[in-house]
Amino acid sequence: MFSKQFDFVAIGDITTDAFIKLHEASVNCDVNRDNCQICLNFGDKIPYESVTVVRAVGNSANAAVAASRLGLSSALIADIGSDENGEECLKALATEKVSEKFVTTHRGMETNYHYVLWYEDDRTILVKHHDYPRAFPKIKAPKWIYLSSIGNNSEKYHEDILAYLTKNPEVKFAFQPGTFQIELGVEKMKGLYSRADIFFVNKEEAQKILKTKEDDVKKLMAMLHTFGPKIIVITDGPRGAYAYDDTNTFFMPIYPNPKPPYERTGAGDAFSSTLTVALAKGLTLEEALRWAPINSMSVVQYIGSQKGLLPEKDLLDYLSKASSDYKARKI
């Protein structure tokens, strides 16, 4: 067993993102810019402006990097293939002072590689999660575990994670479910839901989990709370975020952008991981809610989900310059 106790251990898939900046496309949306679709002419040669490759990303990898930059000892539990892409991901983690001791390399397999179709300030991601033979490593119980997106055919692996959390009740647990974890359904994931100290989803994900068209965020949080998480956080893009802790319901506005978003990948990860880190540092939920939007604001000013993640001193500098109305408000 690895003897060091980490402050923050993230669990989830790691990948490389190749950002393909499109020269032209059309975007069709419903009213209020909901349910948008990017459209390209089928059969055409589509011009693009540039390709930017970003290593060692993914919901959990992003969270591990955020924690490291904010001053916590951080590690990632993930799986990669025995290829150049995997080697580059390990180098990127090391550069960010994220321990790669629990990243398992699988001989003869490829490392995940995603293509991001980037147009204007938003993107569509083409994803492929390889089916690794995952096994939970032997580690000393960290202070916090942060679980996010893992690919298909990982139901047994989630059972192993739950068994570890059950065996180590002192470990705080943050859960930001990815697509497959949401699709597994509440019944198969109920142990992880009920074990969560804090649970993160966006509004659309909450509706999907609950199989409802309910639009009232307060009602959505109350419904999710019945599954057992101690704190529910629902993000709603540029409209802000909400949190519920069984006593109080808070609304938190976004941190005002100094300029329009450049590229939105990783904004949700930045919010969720930064809030978790703030709680790990001993802040109250109200205080942590003031930290989280600052990292989201910074991330969307850059290409990719990690370049804009802030060290603590820079985040606190933004916080010191915030207006008096930048605070969590009870609703």
Q: What is the pLDDT of residues 166-196, one digit of tens each?
A: 999 999 999 999 999 999 999 999 999 999 9
Contact 234, 241 (CB under 8 A): yes
Sort residue 211 into left (φ over 0), alpha (ψ -120 to 50) or beta.
Answer: left
pLDDT in tens, 85-137: 999 999 999 999 999 999 999 999 999 999 999 998 788 989 888 999 999 99
pTM: 0.94
Question: Closest Cα to residue 53, out of 109, 12, 15, 95?
Answer: 15
Contacts of 327 (CB under 8 A, 6+ apart): 252, 286, 290
Q: Which of 188, 186, 279 is nearest to 231 (CA)?
A: 279
Domain boundaries, the chain: 8-13+58-110+132-330
Q: To 10 degrees, what angle do helices 285-299 and 267-280 make? A: 150
Q: Span 8-13+58-110+132-330: which CATH code?
A: 3.40.1190.20
Instruction: Give the chain's residues under pLDDT 50.
Output: none
Contact present, 331 and 216 (Cβ < 8 Å) = no
Q: Please, what is the average pLDDT of the chain?
A: 95
Measured between alpha carbons, how far is 299 from 270 in angstroms, rounded to an integer?
A: 7
**Structure tokens that stand for 270 in this block:** 């930045």
